[in-house]
Amino acid sequence: MPHTLAGLVRHEADIRKSRFLALAAPIDSPQAAQTFLDAHRDPQATHNCWAWQLGGQYRFSDDGEPGGTAGRPILQAIQSQDCDRVAVLLIRWFGGIKLGTGGLARAYGGTAAECLRTAEKILIREECRVRCSCPYAEIDRIQARLLAAGSRIEAAQFGADGVVWDLSVPKAEAPALESLYVDLTRGQGTWQVQGEEAP
């Protein structure tokens, strides 16, 4: 299961007189990745190389380093650490000793991997949206049970007969939650996974 990060994390390394600073952060959109990179890049540094992964989308940059020696190793570090929704910026201050292409790839990839390895991670749960209804008399009891089972209420619409909730529920647990919901409402509530046709 993929993980994202709990927050911003940093890791420094000195490799043959070059200083490397890795900064990693959780992201939820390409725009968030760009905002993070813009906010933390150092214009005084020799190189600001980076990579980010967001589901099936990814981008990376060597920022002037030889092609394939920086951005791609950083991306591979993200993937090898089973991370997603993560951006990594790796800043290098050149120390006067050339590392060669293999040395650069190891320096960038290794520093990024160590940064991510030490970071506090959060499991990314695959979720689905569910619309369900509930009579007023049962709201408190059913809401408490659904929240305890890991659901999140995204929206609530109150009408004459009760409430209609839009829930985010863990996809793997959706069938068990539906059974629980049917039992709690004694078959009176409706439960519809969004994107699926009602039978």
13 φ, ψ (degrees, to nearest 5): -145, 140
* Domain end residue (candidates: 80, 98, 123): 123
* Domain end residue (candidates: 98, 123, 148): 123
- The domain in which residue 60 lies consists of 3-123
Is residue 199 scored above 80 in pLDDT? Answer: no
- The CATH number of the domain holding residue 66 is 3.30.230.30
The closest alpha carbon to 189, from 181, 177, 198, 197, belongs to 181
Please state the domain count of the chain: 2
* Domain end residue (candidates: 123, 141, 165): 123
Q: What is the 3-state secondary structure (H, E, C) of the chain?
A: CCEEECCCEEEEEEECCEEEEEEEEECCCHHHHHHHHHHHCCCCCCEEEEEEEECCEEEEECCCCCCCCCHHHHHHHHHHCCECCEEEEEEEECCCCCCHHHHHHHHHHHHHHHHHHCCCEEECCCEEEEEEEEEHHHHHHHHHHHHHCCCEEEEEEECCCEEEEEEEEEHHHHHHHHHHHHHHCCCCCCEEECCCCCC
Residues 85 and 152 in one domain: no
Separation CA 85–CA 56 (nearest Å): 10
Residues 62 and 106 in one domain: yes
Could you tell me the sign of the dihedral formed by the alpha carbons of 87, 25, 41, 22, in that order? negative
pLDDT in tens, 88-142: 999 999 988 899 999 999 999 999 999 999 998 887 777 788 898 888 888 888 8
In a domain, 91, yes or no: yes
Give the model's pLDDT for residue 197. Answer: 44
pLDDT in tens, 53-102: 998 899 999 999 999 999 999 999 999 998 999 999 999 999 888 999 99
Q: Quick one: what percent of the chain has pLDDT higher than 70?
A: 96
pTM of the model: 0.67
pLDDT in tens, 5-47: 989 999 999 999 999 999 999 998 999 999 999 999 999 999 9
Residues 131 and 33 in one domain: no
Mean pLDDT of 141-155: 83
Cβ atoms of 1 and 72 within 8 Å: the answer is no
Separation CA 33–CA 146 (nearest Å): 33
Separation CA 156–CA 86 (nearest Å): 31
